[in-house]
Structure 1
Amino acid sequence: MLVSTKEIEVRYAETDQMGVVYHANYLVWMELGRTQIIKDLGFNYAEMEKDGIISPVLDIQASYKKPLHYGEKAIVKTWIEEYDGLRTSYGYEIYTEKDELAVTGFSKHVCVKKETFRPISIKKYYPVWHEAYEKAKKQPAEAY
């Protein structure tokens, strides 16, 4: 399983009145993590969009464990949790620079034609991308 890493410097504008990262910014950081894992696999999401294909979020979840503050670094780890040729679920862990777990989460996506919002088969439209995702995704636990 491929785990991609993206380091982010926490900016002042990303914090709230309490001086901690505002919760919605973690969702933006998850997007940066998705972009990074796609890049690490050798692909470019912007190129897919040029083909008229987009990948909307179907579901997203975040569980907050420890706050991050302005001036600290966040380390976003991203992996492909599930992939079936149509839908993709990404897993996330965001750590402090002291390697403390700050956030866990996941997001689910599907690729659709921008004009119709009808789902497409990644396997059919992007077979090389499909193969890379199959190889990179989290392997199911073996039954005992």
Structure 2
Amino acid sequence: MFVSTREIEVRYAETDQMGVVYHANYLVWMELGRTQIIKDLGFNYADLEKDGILSPVLDIQASYKKPLLYGQTAIVKTWIDEYDGLRVNYGYEIFNDEGDLAVTGLSKHVCVKKDSFRPLSIRKKYPDLHNAYEKAKK
């Protein structure tokens, strides 16, 4: 299984009055993790969008284990949990810079055509991306 890593400096604007990362920011960091794994596999999500392909979120979940704080570094680990040629589930673990697990998560996506939102087979349209996902998945 291939695991992608992305480090993010926790900025003041991402925290609440207690200096704790506001929960919705973890969803943004998961998106950064998805973009990073696609890049690490040799592709560019922006290029897919230029080609008229989107990957909307069908479902997302996060379990909070330990707060991340202003001034820490978040380490986002992302992997392909499931993939069937059409749908992809990404798994996430977000750690602080001391190695403590802060958040676990999972997001479910499907690739669709931008103009119609009809599902699209990655296996057929992008065989290189399909093969990369097959090799990288859990």
Counterpart AA for 1:19: G
Q: How does 1:41-52 map to 2 (within 5 A)?
A: 41-52=41-52
- In the alignment, structure 1 segments of 5+ residues that lack a partner are 139-144
Alignment of 1:72 onto 2:72: yes
Correspondences of 1:107-122 after superposition (within 5 Å): 107-122=107-122
1:3-82 correspondence to structure 2 within 5 Å: 3-82=3-82
Q: Distance in 2 between matches of 1:35 and 1:10?
A: 18
Deviations 1:73-118 (A, max 9, x none): 0000000000000000000000010000000000000000011000
CA-to-aligned-CA distance 1:105-143 (integer Å, 9 cap, x gap): 0000000001100000000110000000000000xxxxx
TM-score, normalised on structure 2? 0.99
Which residues of structure 2 form unaligned runs of 5+? none
- Supply the distance in 2 between the matched residues of 1:126 and 1:45 (Cα, whole angstroms): 12
Q: Please identify runs of 4+ aligned residues in structure 1 that moved more than 3 A.
A: none
Q: Give the AA of the match of 1:29.
A: W
Count of residue correspondences: 138
Matched to 2:49, the amino acid is: E
